[in-house]
Homo-oligomer: A and B are copies of this chain.
């Protein structure tokens, strides 16, 4: 009862083709291909054989419309070239892998209006959930998220009010903690070097926390320098040179990320500057790159893998004890002192 394949006229195949080729109803084919419901072993094999032979690929568009179920999870991040988001993605993929859910990535380039349109686009595919970086969104974005009717997880940051769930660290606290460590190590003339990104709220919060903790010790930032665009490593060098020339008495450089910190470290070593004696250095993120540097930059791990994992677990409904939504998970970043802060 096996109809011959006619490979000449190339319409795209449907369930009906497989159904005719295998001599059972479309419904039965559908059941076989989804492993759902009882199908006898013989028909199952006949159907699978026919599907394979024809090269049938199910149409998820139609399936999703009919079943009102979409196995996609939207992931909205500011940038891919950041080193930090690929690792978050890894955590997400790890967890989703065995749930049948699939991540779909959208990139905003730190632009709120881009974010808005990416959210709109994503929601128009009716995904099973949305993971997005940050707690700061435009009013329109907030409204869409609140209306979406699917789990929303805001990641990276927890200093604020999430729409639904949140997983991240307190960047404010991270900044404070770093400041306390630096001051405890005896540094007093401290400069900040960071990105000139009006929409990098997390870097801003770290700086705010940092200055707050300095303030408690009666200190002010001795200098500050911002950059935008270009190679982070190179910019780190340039900014470091600029700051050290402008403020020769500075004894600590706090960088908003590890890449520019690494550039600063390389610059100091090149110049024969005593690190951490003459100046101390610290970055943020705990990127793998640092392992290969001549000296280990002090940094703070942002728990990126765990953030990804936990966010995915929330979407996948894998959180323990039937926690449903509106969960806020604060992770504790660990400070890695490395070799660029004086030992007390």
A331 within 8 A of B: no
The reply to whether A55 and B104 form a contact with Cβ atoms under 8 Å apart is: no
A232 within 8 A of B: yes
> Which residues does chain B contribute within 8 Å of A326, judged by CB atoms?
none
A39 within 8 A of B: no
The reply to whether B294 and A233 form a contact with Cβ atoms under 8 Å apart is: no
Complex Cα gap A56–B338 (Å) = 52
A209 within 8 A of B: no
Instruction: State which of B59, B81, B144 has its C-beta within 8 Å of the C-beta of A87.
Output: B81
Instruction: State which of B57, B107, B235, B292 has its C-beta within 8 Å of the C-beta of A237.
Output: B292
A269-289 contact mask (Cβ, 8 Å, vs B): 1 or 0: 010000000000000000011
Given contacts A57-B144, A149-B12, contact A234 B90 (CB under 8 A): no
Output the nearest chain B residue to A238 by Cβ-Cβ distance.
Answer: B292
The reply to whether B59 and A234 form a contact with Cβ atoms under 8 Å apart is: no
Output the nearest chain B residue to A119 by Cβ-Cβ distance.
Answer: B57
Complex Cα gap A291–B237 (Å) = 10
Complex Cα gap A59–B144 (Å) = 14
> Which residues does chain B contribute within 8 Å of A125, judged by CB atoms?
60-61
A89 within 8 A of B: yes
A336 within 8 A of B: no
Output the nearest chain B residue to A75 by Cβ-Cβ distance.
Answer: B105
> Which residues does chain B contribute within 8 Å of A266, judged by CB atoms?
292-294
> Which residues does chain B contribute within 8 Å of A262, judged by CB atoms?
292
Complex Cα gap A262–B121 (Å) = 40
A296 smallest CB distance to B (angstroms):
11
The reply to whether B263 and A147 form a contact with Cβ atoms under 8 Å apart is: no
A91 smallest CB distance to B (angstroms):
12
The reply to whether B292 and A231 form a contact with Cβ atoms under 8 Å apart is: yes
> Which residues does chain B contribute within 8 Å of A236, judged by CB atoms?
292
B-binding segment of A62-70, A168-176, A195-203, A219-227: A62-70
Complex Cα gap A263–B292 (Å) = 6
The reply to whether A61 and B64 form a contact with Cβ atoms under 8 Å apart is: yes
The reply to whether B233 and A124 form a contact with Cβ atoms under 8 Å apart is: no
> Which residues does chain B contribute within 8 Å of A233, judged by CB atoms?
288-289, 291-293
The reply to whether B55 and A144 form a contact with Cβ atoms under 8 Å apart is: yes
Q: Give the interface centre of A60, A83, A149, A230 by most chain B CB atoms within 10 Å.
A: A60
A215 within 8 A of B: no
Instruction: State which of B59, B70, B80, B291 has its C-beta within 8 Å of the C-beta of A126.
Output: B59
A341 within 8 A of B: no
A143 within 8 A of B: yes
Output the nearest chain B residue to A120 by Cβ-Cβ distance.
Answer: B57
Complex Cα gap A124–B70 (Å) = 12
Complex Cα gap A55–B233 (Å) = 44
Complex Cα gap A62–B143 (Å) = 23
What are 23 of the A-B contact pairs (CB < 8 Å)?
A: A10-B147, A12-B126, A57-B123, A57-B144, A61-B70, A61-B125, A61-B126, A65-B65, A80-B80, A80-B86, A80-B90, A81-B86, A81-B87, A81-B90, A104-B104, A231-B289, A231-B291, A233-B289, A233-B291, A235-B292, A236-B292, A237-B292, A266-B293
